[in-house]
Amino acid sequence: MQSQGLALSPEVEVGPSAAHVSTKKSFVDPSRHEPEMGDSDKCGLYVNENTSRLVVLGRLYEGLTPVHNITLGNDQVKVNIEETRDVDAHILVPTQEVQLVAQALNTFIAWLTHLVKRL
């Protein structure tokens, strides 16, 4: 077929090495590129009003895209969790799937805007 100028399509990759596709838009793409949200900034997520208790390092995404099919409130932002500092800390905006920081690694979650610090 190659000699006739026809190229074979590449084989589809399946199994554990295949890319993960989330239907809930909660999985974080390892490339850190979310076309509908633009670039992201590294941030620290805190749980106390005075931002004294850092529990997560992640990325902040601008825009109002839903998180786990829930629309963000005016006082919330979309973040992904890259590194946990306190796995037992409670998520401030929990979902059915995610209540603790340990459950949020490599996923998108909502966080209260005033408890997010850009790094």
Burial class (CB in 10 A: 0-12, 13-18, 19+), 25: middle
Q: What percent of the chain has pLDDT over 70?
A: 64
Hey, which residues does 40 pair with through a beta bridge?
61
Mean pLDDT on 27-31:
44
- pLDDT confidence of residue 82: 95
d(C-alpha 105, C-alpha 14), whole Å: 24
Give the pLDDT confidence of 49-94 residue by residue, as tens digits: 666 789 999 999 877 678 877 889 889 999 999 999 999 999 988 8
Task: Give CA separation, 106 vs 29, 34, 52, 86, 93, in Å.
Answer: 8, 14, 23, 15, 16
